[in-house]
Amino acid sequence: MRKNNVKTKWDNNETALCGWIATESTVLAETVGVAGVDAVAVDLQHGASDVHNLMNFMQAISATPAIPMVRLPGNVPEIIMKSLDYGAYGLICPLINSAEDAKAFVHASLYPPHGGRSFASARVLNYAGADYAKHANDEIIKLAMIETREGLENIDEILAVEGLDGIFVGPTDLALTLGYTPGPEHSIEGLEEAIAHCVAMTKKAGKKAGIFCSGGKGSAIRRDEGFDLVVPTAELYIFKKALAAELADYNA
């Protein structure tokens, strides 16, 4: 089976860098994949794409050095299995609030005897190799999003779920649920305390922590705080920021 670049980084005690796709453009997904990131995540929860065009994204990202990942629209077994069959090497599942939620997520992501995922001679075999089913349980990354007060309170039980690789912090939703107005890194003391708690609990459990960031500088901050997977921002925001800079040069 083709190796998982992100897990290779983790084995070397390095932080992985993940691009994020919120639009329907497979060309942008491919462009992000060749930009130097280790993975590209397609956002099916809040992005413009859905499971019906996901295979096109998996094919586009698979043509780059980055591994394809998916932020799921929810903890739905059918979509989890389709995402994996189409070629996702990592899954980020939103709104995991309890150990029961995490167990359901993991169960749908793993082949028996450790889970309930069914096998199909799907597109992923073209990308991963004929021995995919033998190694997929070990190679596929499964991250549970911590983005609610309930999830934060239950983080130790969530991290204890066997087969879960770790967590992915959603700082905007976590800020909202804690009663704060979202802002960039280190702008909200209470939020930073919650995020530091997430990292500490993850390290204690011997698992991995990811987070969405406000940009490259924010990603460096989170890397230095011990996060194992950082997302600089979505491609849509990068485009908007770059265009604003070009227009500022024009108007200077």
* pLDDT score recorded for residue 229: 98
* pLDDT score recorded for residue 17: 98
* pLDDT score recorded for residue 121: 86
* pLDDT score recorded for residue 244: 95
Is residue 208 helix, strand or coil?
Answer: strand
Token digits for 144?
């549970």
Low-confidence ranges of the chain (pLDDT < 50): none
Tens of pLDDT, residue by residue over 15-67, are: 999 999 999 999 999 999 999 999 999 999 999 999 999 999 999 999 999 99
**Strand ranges, E, within the chain:** 16-21, 39-43, 67-71, 90-93, 141-146, 166-169, 208-212, 229-231
Does the active-site annotation cover 186?
Answer: no
Domains of the chain (ranges; CATH) run 5-251 (3.20.20.60)
In the block, residue with structure tokens 């691009």: 19
